[in-house]
Amino acid sequence: MPNAAVSTDDRSFLYGDGLFETLLALEGRVLWPELHLDRLMLGCERLGIPGQRAAAEELLASLEIGEPAAVLRLSLSRGSGPRGYAPPEFSEPVLRLTQHSAPALPADSRVDVVLSPVNVAAQPLLAGIKHCNRLEQVLAAQDARARGAGEALMTTGDGEVQCAISANVFAVSGRTLITPPVDRAGVAGTRRRLVLERLARQVGLDTEVTSLRVDRCRRADALILTNSVHGIRAVRRLDDTDFPGANDAVHALQGAYMQEVRRCLGS
């Protein structure tokens, strides 16, 4: 049953043995559910959890969304099981969907970012998928808040930027967008996918999925963070590096994104 209380033998509670998606709903309509479900299914495959695509679609479609802008959390736990790490041979996954107010965006939606002292560990088996083992992000968020930063870049400790705490990172260099691959760490963001597969081309930008070092971020013309809740945000400052206020590539990308959003809403 969706949104049933979680029992103390739920494996998501016990071991973070589950997956989740964070979706934005505007005017009662969920944006790009198919991109979220694609990633959720990839996660199921990786973790050996039976896929629940149809059930998840149904659950999303059945939700009554009460607010003009809402954030949905769709959780997929492997389900209950006996004590111990080994999952039951036949698990009965449980979907849960909760609804939250969308955060108000400040008038200047640019964000101040720090380099996090919390590294993400390289773990190819879990990279790319949105699983529920998120202590690294919790620690990084705790640290960023203490320093007054809205977000933080996370590296694997070797100078390689992998992600922000809850966003993907793009560096703008001339007419090229550079973002790291998500095969060692990080999450394959739905908005990252939109940028790479659709938006960049629409506005005449090239894309490179390749190593993105911290020093390259500092020297970039602009830095962008993408996620489902905030869409495409420009970085105002990375530690003590200020980025200029206006960047044509960023504005074009944000415009293309808003157009896609409006298309989703059928308006």
List of residues contacting its own copies (CB under 8 A): 3, 5-17, 20, 22, 47-48, 71, 73, 75, 77, 82-87, 96, 98, 100, 118-119, 121-123, 125-126, 131-142, 144-145, 165-166
E strand or H helix at 41:
helix 33-47
Query: What does the buried/exposed string (b/e) look like for 70-108 if buried means 16 or more CB atoms within 10 Å of the residue's CB?
Result: bbbebbbbbbbbeeeeebeeebebbbbbebeebeeeeee
Q: How far is the CB of 139 from its own copies (least distance, A)?
A: 6
**Which is nearer to its own copies, 40 or 200 (by Cβ)?**
40
CB of 44 to its own copies, least distance (A): 13
**CB of 138: closest distance to its own copies in angstroms?**
5
- 185 close to 120: Cβ distance less than 8 angstroms: yes
Report CA torsion sign: 109, 34, 29, 72: negative
Query: Which residue, 54 or 125, has its beta carbon nearer to its own copies?
Result: 125
Minimum CB distance to its own copies smaller for 119 or for 202: 119
What type of residue is 149?
A
Q: How far is the CB of 92 from its own copies (least distance, A)?
A: 16
Q: Which is nearer to its own copies, 29 or 184 (CB)?
A: 184
Record the tokens describing residue 40, joined without a space. Answer: 């959720």
Name the strands in the sheet holding 94-101, side by side, starting at the edge strand that comes first in the sequence: 29-30, 18-26, 69-77, 94-101
Nearest to 111 by CA among 249, 209, 227, 257: 227
In three-state secondary structure terms, 79 is: coil
Pairing mode of beta strands 222-227, 206-209: unpaired
Q: Nearest distance from residue 247's CB to its own copies, in Å?
A: 27
Least distance from C-beta 186 to its own copies, angstroms?
Answer: 13
Nearer to its own copies, 15 or 221 (CB): 15
Contacts for 251 with CB less than 8 Å, ≥ 6 apart: none
Residue placing its CB nearer to its own copies in the complex, 95 or 220: 95
